[in-house]
A and B are shown apart, each in its own frame.
Chain A
Amino acid sequence: MSTTQLLAPNVTAQHWADPSHPDDRPFIRRYIFSTDHKTIGNQFMFMSLFFLLVGGALAMMIRWQLGWPGQPMPGGGVLPETMAPGGILLPEFYNSLVTMHGTFMIFFAIMPLLVGMFGNWLIPLHVGASDMAFPRLNMMSFWSAVPAGFIMLASFVVEGGAAGAGWTAYPPLSAVPEYSGVSTGQQLWCVSLIILGFSSLMGAVNYITTIVNMRAPGMTWMRMPLPIWSLFITAILILLAIPILAGAAIMLLFDQTIGTTFFLPEAGGQPLLWQHLFWYFGHPEVYILILPAMGVASEVIANGSRKPIFGYPAMVGAIVAIAFLGWIVWGHHMFQSGMNPLLGSSFMLSTMIIAVPSAIKVFNWLGTIWRGDIHFHTPMLNALAFVGMFVIGGLSGVFMASTPVDIYIHDTYFIVAHLHYVLFGGSLFAIFAGIYFWFPKFFGRMLSPTLGKIHFALTFVFYNLVFFPMHNLGLGGMMRRIYDPNQYGFLEPLQPMNTFVSVFALALGVSQLVFFFNILWSLWRGEKAPENPWRSNSLEWSLASPPPHGNFEAMPAVYRGPYEYSYPGRGEDFWLQGEPPDGGAVHAPTGGAPVGEGVPQ
């Protein structure tokens, strides 16, 4: 790869009307209704972490009930009679718990962390822009996500409680209050997701426009950091998938409120139509939840290994391939739904093929750390855990992609284990890696490495003790979303394993407090962050921490790809993308040994 040639600029100078300057906006414009992408990224972080806590608390209650069925939950006495009389969780409240745990984690924690937070933090800085293409739209995107979240949260206190038909909201259960016992809550669920859909769409058009139009001179497509590639493809997925969810949610809301029967068979509606629409959105959504995590992990792994990413073009190609294939696999959620079995065969084929680009990514991450010089900073530990856990989540996916095996494991805890290996072991570990990595850049303070490593170790161990045994629970036949497995004789022998899982789930929940404490403590007391604490290459690391309003003083120029680590003959083992080839001081090698073996292959 040429590292010196400055390719034709695709951005002209008139885009640079807004050089960085001191921020003199009043408090409210600066911190609350801000149009600065960095502030909006921070806001998405705080909002999503709040909902991560909410979703986590709901998970703790679920695990309490499964670990000690029918026992009064410690502290459960504060819940109203309609949820937990005497601290004993009611079955209808349990259904709301599983529904809202999934809903909050997917739509209000993982998705806004990956897309809202990383997208806002990274896109303008990584491409060398002063802000997003549409800063006000960006502000509106955040400020419509907030009410959506609080509408969802408020549904717990309306009459009938929160939605209880699962995060997938299959009608007729979700459409008819007499069936679920929930009316207003189920409607608020639709309303909230429709509003959140607008938020996501405003973000997506912004990301796409910014990446296409606002790259600094020299920032060619194949010099973009991988988080930007993954966020670009993710934004396209969002733009195409979210309207389908919003449309389906509007149809469901009409079925609930004004007497339409899109999904109700009495008047010719079709319950399976919802499943097709939901999963036609829902499977791209799965990749919306993992592609940015892959991008972030790639960035951190190259940095921690002090090595260029292995096979950059293949990594980009794999992102595109996964995103494309993601559109033609939705039927694998419906193998047992009554869909034509021959359709099942074709969906099995397309689903299995997704394993190929996923495998390419895993092997290329391995190739990146191979012959590296691995620094185990906190972001790197989390990124390595991401790879290890994503492998398990990916491989367990092969089981349910196989239609005959899926007959048995569909709707069991095997699925629960799989999806948590992907969404927690995959997405969340990458989110941790990214927050440890970029927090210093956006808050000007380092997160405590000691607390970071304690948090990582506890999370990694407890996480596996919680979710690995769930594979066995599923193979034992335990269904998802059941309030009390002991209703079934054949599930009674699994109770000790359920209790084991619950013990470590509570421990996993408590150990996340280390992370939240680290953030709050470091915001005020953390060590001041230098410009480039991780000796990394992309454009933001040549700016102050935090970067000033408007980011760059002058239009940055980009001279090389983002992963020029350990370039032979340079003194330092990193090479900023914006450092001119002749302007950078070339020091004597500090590593001692001459760089001999590191020639490009």
Chain B
Amino acid sequence: MPEPASTFGAGIDSIYYIILWITGAIFVLVETALIVFIIRYRHREGRVAAYSHGNKKAEIVWTVIPFILVLFIVYASNDIWLEVKRADQGGAAPADALPLRVVAKQFEWNVTYPGPDGELDTADDFVKRNQLHVPIGRAVRIDLGSEDVIHSFFLPDFRVKQDAVPGMTIPVWFEATRTGEFPLACAELCGLGHYRMRASLTVHEAADFDLWQSQEIAASGSPTGASEIDTERANEAEISEGEESA
């Protein structure tokens, strides 16, 4: 797994390692027993198998122990899960979060930025295709949607994955802990271009993010109501759609 780059990444990984240790120990125990028994009790001349229908005490032991172990795993997992999903806040991102809107469609990610006023659906919004830029150390709230089929918003380094479902707006949040450029991938089969529905996530220092944002606004001319999403399929040329039937 890549080194985590979000605030909750390490917590998720810690559960992974807890499960790895528990299941690893059971794996070694069971497979060793299997191999030892296979060798120890292999057929030889004169060997007679024990006549036994079981042992209640042993069976109770190996029912209760796994039960306790899985309850522990559930308990530990649920803590992190509710934290990641911010269940105590009804799923709402932290109040100071940077609001973004990501709308997936075959086969691109369209990101709406709030512009200098920090609010979506205002005149200074602007849209970037396949480029997600966020500042470090500030929570980001993404309203995730899809225009056509189900996609899945996957940021491997951030331990973020959320399906984008048409007809639904699903909240996603994370807070970056490292600057740099990271992959954004589609993780749900979404059609023939699924395998190249990729984008990049750039994490800036806070000041650099503001600089980037003002450059973008300057480059795109006046920040007019760009919140309506550019529906032109820019990568249409790449798509070999010869097989599509009418």
Contact = CB atoms under 8 A, between A and B. Distances in A.
A177 B244 contact: yes
Contact of A595 (B26, B31, B51, B62): B51
A271 B150 contact: yes
A164 B241 CA distance: 14
A404 B49 contact: no
Task: Sort chain A's interface into a size bin.
Answer: 35 or more
Given A411-B152, A490-B2, A373 B27 contact: no
Interface in B35-51: 37-38, 41-43, 45-51
Interface residues of B, number: 88
B1 A475 contact: yes
Interface string B153-177: 0101001111101111010000000
A338 interface: yes
Given A181-B241, A362-B30, A349 B148 contact: no
B27 A391 contact: yes
Given A91-B193, A179-B106, A404 B81 contact: yes
Contacts, number: 314
Interface in A368-424: 369-376, 384, 387-388, 391-392, 395-396, 398-399, 402-405, 407-408, 410-412
A260 interface: no
A336 interface: yes
A392 B41 contact: no
A262 to B, nearest CB: 12
Interface stretch (B9-17, B94-102, B221-229): B9-17
A307 B150 contact: no
A336 B161 contact: yes
A411 B187 contact: yes
A13 B22 CA distance: 55
B195 A91 contact: yes
Interface in A68-105: 82, 90-92, 95, 98
Interface of A: 1, 82, 90-92, 95, 98, 159-161, 164-166, 170-173, 176-184, 265-266, 269-272, 305-312, 314, 336-338, 341-342, 344-345, 348-349, 352-353, 355-356, 359-360, 362-364, 366-367, 369-376, 384, 387-388, 391-392, 395-396, 398-399, 402-405, 407-408, 410-412, 475-477, 479-485, 487-490, 565-568, 573, 591-593, 595, 597-601
Given A309-B53, A373-B41, A405-B77, 4 more contacts: A307-B49, A372-B37, A405-B12, A408-B1
26 contacts: A92-B192, A95-B194, A166-B189, A172-B149, A181-B244, A271-B165, A306-B49, A307-B50, A312-B54, A336-B163, A341-B91, A348-B74, A348-B77, A352-B73, A353-B67, A371-B41, A374-B41, A384-B38, A391-B26, A396-B23, A398-B70, A404-B11, A407-B159, A566-B50, A573-B48, A601-B55
